[in-house]
Chain A
Amino acid sequence: MYNAKYIIPGLIIFLGLVLFPFIKGIGQPELKIETEKPKNVKECVLKTEKMRDVHMVLLNEWRDDVIRNGKRVYTNEAGKQFNMSLTNTCMGCHENKDKFCDKCHEAVGVTPYCWTCHNISPVKKEGGK
């Protein structure tokens, strides 16, 4: 092989950089985030696990349905109906953005800009901007 003395160390350095996050994660305790659950309501629009995975997809669909198609009522798998509204339906139960939304968003490093327009909670405003 030509230039093996450059290529092989180069490959090792490259692999080291690519695998660094995985190597660093070995042996770390599992990420656990304690969020504040709504006090008065037990059931969400979808099951908790599903909501954890696809809430952003759901919100995106709601937005298009409400604004573009004029469809404002969502029926879930159990046949229960909800007003498709981040401000009124989601934030009506999850009153505290700081103790619910932000907990995960901060841990995974995403900053959704939903709250530059949608108000924190119609029930009570807490947690600032």
Chain B
Amino acid sequence: MQRSRRDFMKLAGVSALGLSAGTLGFLGQGAQAADALPTATDFAKPITAKQWAMVIDTAKFDDALFKKVITACHAYHNVPEIPGKQEIKWIWTDEFHGAFPTERPAFLADAQEHRKYLLLCNHCANPACVRVCPTKATFKNNEGLVVMDYHRCIGCRYCMAGCPYGARSFNFRDPQDFIKDMNLLYPHRTRGVVEKCTFCVEKLAQGKMPLCVEASGGAMIFGDLADPKSEVRKVLKEKYAIRRNPSAGTEPSVFYIL
């Protein structure tokens, strides 16, 4: 087939139009993302506490809510989805006997036995992981949060052995390949470090509630355990709540209403 010069010019014109349209669209997206960058003013009003704590109303949870809460956390914090034994967990679920292995109720009520329980790092008042970390990569900050400094973690996994709740995961491989939609505003982790839930320390610094609490629609209550007027203390005053594995003596800060 022969092409005339006129045909070629037409095709070139259309292609140029297509290319420029693509570029414009790309610039538009960039500008949108730039608006969402947190600035200094976002951190002007942080919320603080002596010991942050959480109460989970387990009866209010169903599968859909579990999924919503877990996705809210994992998507924002770039938690990779690795199947099998190398799984990374920040917030996950288990049945009664897995969640509370030291509670041994005989003839447990059906509702409680077949329910799933939302599990996460307990941000203990007396954390075992902090005691055993040789590099002080994991430590308790002055708001009662058990935080990790990934820069200092040498991947020895003593903290994983120390934690009685299995709340820590080790990156056996580069997690980058297992993150579907990377949130560019938040760093991901690298091979050879341990990671875990942070109680959204970066959200508290902006005066916001943790992402799971926001997504739960009232099924999770968050507040200062040391303040008798706080939301969590009000709830704990009214309802009987248990903690995971209290005999480990770590004083977990996550309470479960059964």
Q: Is B37 an interface residue (CB 8 A)?
A: yes
Report B19-43 CB contacts with A as 1/0, cut-off 8 Å.
0000000100110011011111111
Residues of B within 8 Å of A118, CB to CB, are 187
A interface: dominant SS:
loop
- The 10 lowest CB-CB distance pairs between A and B, nearest first, are A81-B40, A122-B184, A116-B190, A117-B187, A119-B184, A72-B43, A118-B187, A73-B40, A124-B30, A122-B185
Residues in chain B near residue A121, CB distance under 8 A: 184
Residues of A within 8 Å of B26, CB to CB, are 124
- A-B contacts counted at CB < 8 A amount to 78
Chain B residues closer than 8 Å to A85, beta-carbon distance:
38
- Is A123 within 8 A of B187, CB to CB? no
Residues of A within 8 A of B (CB): 63, 67-68, 70, 72-74, 81-83, 85, 87-89, 92, 113, 116-125, 129
Q: By the criterion CB–CB under 8 Å, are A119 and B40 in contact?
A: no
B39 to chain A, nearest CB (A): 5
Are B34's CB and A92's CB within 8 A? yes
Complex: chain A residue closest to B34, CB-CB = A123
Task: Return the chain A residue nearest B27 by Cβ.
Answer: A124
* Chain B contact residues, CB within 8 Å of chain A: 26, 29-30, 33-34, 36-44, 46, 139, 141-143, 147, 149-151, 174, 176, 182, 184-191, 201, 205
SS class of chain B's interface: helix, strand, loop or mixed? Answer: loop
CB neighbours of A83 from chain B (8 A): 37-40, 42-43
Contacts of A87 on B, CB cut-off 8 Å?
184-187
Minimal beta-carbon separation of A30 from chain B (angstroms): 35
Cβ B188 vs Cβ A88 within 8 A: no
In the complex, what's the smallest C-beta–C-beta distance from A93 to chain B, in angstroms? 10
Q: Report Cα–Cα, A88/B202, bound state, in Å.
A: 13
